[in-house]
Amino acid sequence: MRNVAVLLAGGVGTRIGLEIPKQLLKIAGRTILEHTLAALDSHPSVDEVIVMMAPGHLDAVRAIVDTGGYTKVSAILEGRGTRNDTTQAALAAIGETECHVLFHDAVRPLVSPRIITECFQALEEFDAVDVAIPSADTIIEVTEQNTIAEIPPRAMLRRGQTPQAFKNSTIRAAYEVANADPDFVATDDCTVVLRYTPDVPITVVAGDERNMKVTEPIDVYLADKLFQLTVKDRPDPHTDEEYAELLTGKTVVVFGGSYGIGADIARIAEAAGARVFTFSRSGTGTHVERRADIAAAAAQVLAAAGSVDYVVNTAGVLPRGELVETTEETVYAATEINYLAPVFIAQEFFPALRDSKGSLLLFTSSSYTRGRGGYSLYSSAKAAVVNLTQALADEWAADGVRVNCVNPERTGTPMRTKAFGQEPEGTLLDSDTVARTSLDVLVSNQTGHIIDVRKDDPLSLT
């Protein structure tokens, strides 16, 4: 049965105090609407997406769809004055043919693929599905005089979220009855089914605390931080045969390719049939912190191969020590190698990546989430790389260039050994695992993502 996702984007953002709808506010390098649209459009169970947008702002959605390559969007329509009217306008566009319909708030950009999957799976058994999470707070019911009337048992209470999903015939029948009620009012679609077709059981799918709704000004800040900290879905791992199919004849450039993760990326890509160019200080005398060296590398690759499909930067240094005791030479070296190098690489290789619709892959560290004593230069530079990744993904989306960042857990590399010495066997990721995940990200359609690679992740096991 056809699965239709309806993106409800009719809000105007009055509580946030904006002149534009809140769903067009940018967080983590993209509009809130685009983050949500990407989650729906990329989900394998979604066959079609209908966007219901606030009147006067449909052109902004059309531009997002055109530049972002969201192929499942079948219609961009004006929302109505109320949530219920907007739902009915979407149902009118869908028609009477039976299908599964999933409604999701545009201002819940952190919806997970798991929630979407489980909503559609639940529709195989039930006609209506809600998404909710347990309440950590005690919920009280108050009177008109603002005194407590009742305190329901918390164990039986849930906080509702979206998506909500229905068989098309079920939600249409509920609204048909509701429209005959002169006092009809409801804040969501499950309420309509519960109130006007009470014989229809509504099952509940477990939501997620991160699936927050951006409503108040503080929500914008929280959502932006959650995007930085959220583990993005890693692309599926590829076999050697799949790598060969994807990489044969492609040109891959790796900075920091003489050892560690960079060397493993180069080795796997070359075995898959890619033409690989590696640059490093020890191998080719390339100083990534020097723009002239990066420009020379780009010229060399283009002269030899004629194009560039993928660029990876794994070069980095890990200085340790208190900042007040750090020499000026170390300050400059760490900042230039860990941050200016990715900037120069992005600038110098953008024209080639634009021509090939290629991909740039950068690397960060878990220390980007919080500056740690003894790592001030390293962690601050890695936080900057994360922001650079998200900004470039936004800037380059219209040109078809993808930019992502891999965040590996502690990995057994020469750089780490130099900084920390030998560590207990089995406590570190191996660089081959990180390299394979890096290639999976590099060849995927994702952009603007920060991908964690963890030792306890089943996909990281070798």
Confidence category of residue 461, pLDDT binned at 50, 70, 90: very low
Residues 47-101 have pLDDT tens digits of: 999 999 999 999 999 999 998 889 999 999 999 989 999 999 999 999 999 999 9
pLDDT over 80 (residue 18): no
pLDDT over 60 (residue 173): yes
pLDDT over 70 (residue 19): no
Fold matches, 3-216 and 240-460: no
Residues 30-44 have pLDDT tens digits of: 899 999 999 999 999
Decide which of 224 and 195 is more confident. 195
Decide which of 379 and 204 is more confident. 204
> Which of 143, 138, 131 minimizes the C-alpha distance to 157?
138
Residues 212-249 have pLDDT tens digits of: 999 888 998 888 878 766 655 567 789 999 999 999 99
- CA–CA separation, 222 and 54 (whole Å): 24
- CA–CA separation, 258 and 438 (whole Å): 16
* pLDDT computed for residue 456 by the predictor: 57
Decide which of 369 and 404 is more confident. 404
Q: Is 52 helix (H, G, I), strand (E, B) or coil?
A: strand
In terms of average pLDDT, the best of 124-128, 212-216, 260-264 is: 124-128
* pLDDT computed for residue 425 by the predictor: 57
Under CATH, which number does the domain 240-460 receive? 3.40.50.720
Q: Which of 11-25, 108-122, 298-312 has the lowest mean pLDDT?
A: 11-25
pTM greater than 0.95: no
* pLDDT computed for residue 228 by the predictor: 62
How buried is 123 (Cβ within 10 angstroms: 0-12 exposed, 13-18 middle, 19+ buried)? buried
Torsion sign, CA atoms 178, 179, 182, 187: positive
Residue spans per domain, the chain = 3-216, 240-460
- Mean pLDDT in the chain? 89
Q: Which of 18-22, 52-56, 204-208 has the lowest mean pLDDT?
A: 18-22
pLDDT over 60 (residue 327): yes
29 and 113 Cβ atoms separated by less than 8 Å: no
Give 281-308 as a DSSP string: HHHH---TT-HHHHHHHHHHHHHHHS--
Under CATH, which number does the domain 3-216 receive? 3.90.550.10
53 and 77 Cβ atoms separated by less than 8 Å: yes
**Degrees, nearest 5: CA angle 196-201-205:** 120
Confidence category of residue 460, pLDDT binned at 50, 70, 90: very low
Residues 6+ apart with CB under 8 A from 22: 11, 12, 13, 16, 32, 107, 214, 215, 220
In terms of average pLDDT, the best of 148-157, 161-170, 395-404 is: 161-170
- CA–CA separation, 446 and 42 (whole Å): 9
* pLDDT computed for residue 462 by the predictor: 28
Neighbours of 149 (CB within 10 A): 10
Mean pLDDT of 124-150: 95
* pLDDT computed for residue 410 by the predictor: 61
